[in-house]
Amino acid sequence: MLEFSKTKRKIVAVLFVAAFFFLGVYIGFTNQFKIGKVTSLVAGATEIKERSVDFSDFWKVWDLIDEKYPGSEKISDQERLYGAISGLLNSLDDPYSVFFKPDEAKLFEEDIAGSFIGVGMEVGIKNKVLTVIAPLKNTPAEKAGIKAGDKILKIDQTIASDLTIDQAIKLIRGEKGTTVILTIAREGEKGPKEVPIVRDTIIVPTLDTELRPDNIFVIKLYSFTANSTGLFRNALREFSQARTDKLLLDLRGNPGGYLSAAVNIASWFLPGGKVVVTEDYGTNKKPTVYRSKGYDVFKNNLKLVILIDGGSASASEIVAGAMQDHKRAILVGSQSFGKGSVQEVVNITTDTLLKITVAKWLTPNGNSITEKGLTPDYQVESAKQAGTDLQLNKAIELLNNWPGLR
């Protein structure tokens, strides 16, 4: 009887082992089927690597949606996949790493082209709040009174704190002639206020020049576009013909643009080989160093002041940071925005894109633009008071009574 009991226990044990084996095969097959199903949704993507990650929690949630969520059948597998990818990127806690669905990818490509329907302002995330980096010149946003540093609380009736940058941009954009209402908070003002803005075709401006009566030549650079290098070269030709050594480069409200344009513009003031900016990839790979092309036409025979403020970002910070670190210019104004990360755009499928942060920009002295922004040599926090541009006045004072570079 004892022997029979032992034998029975052995048979039961074997059956349990077999049952778990077949259960594992079934679960593995089921999940493999699901993985295959999801993989088919991103057909055309690059080859997917094997990962030693347990996705059982993911599939459990997927199945619970089918089982419990009212109207789950109205949400396509494709939309669920897009949501999962966006959630994966959210785990990075980086507002500049974004997945673009087909309609969003189309809008993004239109933005790059330099002409689009919108209100004409650059936005970013600062201290986890959607913030205006700068309104562009002669655009609906500027005409409506939007200013650099304005915090956007609502877009029409949508709470902005729940949105990514690109989701916010999509809501702000729209049909030409229609109105979007932004609820903003501005430092120094009581409570939020609503600002209605009529959408229009936006053409990104580049630069203006002016020779002042006091012989100061002013270059106002609005953005670093594909054609800004040629326009800046022409502006410097005007400066040379003006026969003055006093140059004011106004980068206030300039949200940036092409890295190549920033390097090219900095090269007019630096000897060949000097570091303009470094792309730091962390531990992923060796940093990339961008150096001056060495145009350096002015040598040391130049008094140069650069104006910056909270609307100066990205490529503006690269140029200003390089000039400051190499002691080629005096910086005047207020702290820059601090947008010093590098994004790469990758085609996931033929109609979807991934914009992902791949590096951080460092000034020639190794300072992180993202973490600190730039601190001017002469800080003048308020741009205008009683109709007077205090930052501009300080720059003019320095150029007319040159203290030398420190």
pLDDT band at 50 (very low <50, low <70, confident <90, very high): low
* CA angle (202, 205, 207) in 5-degree steps: 175
Place of tokens 């993202």: 370
| Contact yes or no for 271/326 (Cβ under 8 A) | no
Model confidence at 22: pLDDT above 70:
no
Annotated catalytic residue within 292, 312, 314, 334: 314
pLDDT band at 344 (very low <50, low <70, confident <90, very high): confident
* CA angle (54, 56, 61) in 5-degree steps: 135
Name the DSSP letter for residue 334: S
Strands 388-389 and 384-385: antiparallel
pLDDT at 48: 57
- The DSSP H or E segment spanning 32 is helix 2-41
Total residues belonging to the chain: 406
CA-closest candidate to residue 259, choices 234, 276, 274: 276
- In 139-263, the DSSP E strands lie at 151-155, 158-159, 179-185, 193-198, 200-203, 207-211, 217-221, 246-250
Place of tokens 């002409």: 115
The chain-wide mean pLDDT, for the chain, equals: 86
Dihedral through CA 216, CA 222, CA 224, CA 229, nearest 10?
-40
Model confidence at 141: pLDDT above 60:
yes
| Contact yes or no for 135/350 (Cβ under 8 A) | no
Whether 316 is catalytic: no
Q: For residue range 293-309, what is the model confidence (pLDDT) as tens digits? A: 999 999 878 999 999 99
pLDDT at 284: 72
In order of their start, the domains of the chain are 116-203 (2.30.42.10), 207-400 (3.90.226.10)
Whether 339 is catalytic: yes
pLDDT band at 356 (very low <50, low <70, confident <90, very high): very high
Which of 8-22, 109-123, 353-367 holds the top average pLDDT? 353-367
CA-closest candidate to residue 103, choices 123, 121, 82, 124: 82
| Contact yes or no for 372/324 (Cβ under 8 A) | no
pLDDT at 111: 62
pLDDT at 55: 86
pLDDT at 29: 42
| Contact yes or no for 173/116 (Cβ under 8 A) | yes
Q: Kindly list the distances between the CA atom of residue 26 and the CA atoms of 19, 31, 39, 40, 147, in Å, as whole numbers in the listed order.
A: 10, 9, 19, 21, 60
Amino acid at 358: V
* Residues 6 or more apart in contact with residue 133 via CB below 8 angstroms: 121, 122, 123, 124, 148, 255, 310, 311, 313, 337, 339
Whether 115 is catalytic: no
pLDDT band at 37 (very low <50, low <70, confident <90, very high): very low
Model confidence at 34: pLDDT above 90:
no
pLDDT at 229: 93
pLDDT at 301: 84
Name the DSSP letter for residue 244: -
Distance CA 400, CA 246 (A): 8
Q: Among 22-31, 133-142, 166-175, 356-365, where is mean pLDDT lowest?
A: 22-31
CA-closest candidate to residue 82, choices 107, 57, 68, 102: 102
Model confidence at 227: pLDDT above 50:
yes
Annotated catalytic residue within 325, 334, 336, 360: 325
Who wins on pLDDT, 21 or 188? 188
CA-closest candidate to residue 195, choices 218, 211, 178, 179: 179
pLDDT at 9: 43
Q: For residue range 93-102, what is the model confidence (pLDDT) as tens digits? A: 888 898 989 9
| Rounded average pLDDT over 266-284 | 94
pLDDT band at 383 (very low <50, low <70, confident <90, very high): low
Q: Kindly list the distances between the CA atom of residue 177 and the CA atoms of 140, 198, 258, 259, 325, in Å, as whole numbers in the listed order.
A: 11, 6, 30, 33, 45
| Contact yes or no for 123/111 (Cβ under 8 A) | no
* CA angle (134, 135, 137) in 5-degree steps: 125
Whole-model pTM: value is 0.74
Annotated catalytic residue within 220, 274, 339, 394: 339
Give the percent of the chain with pLDDT over 90: 62
Distance CA 83, CA 160 (A): 19
Strands 207-211 and 330-333: unpaired
| Rounded average pLDDT over 6-32 | 43
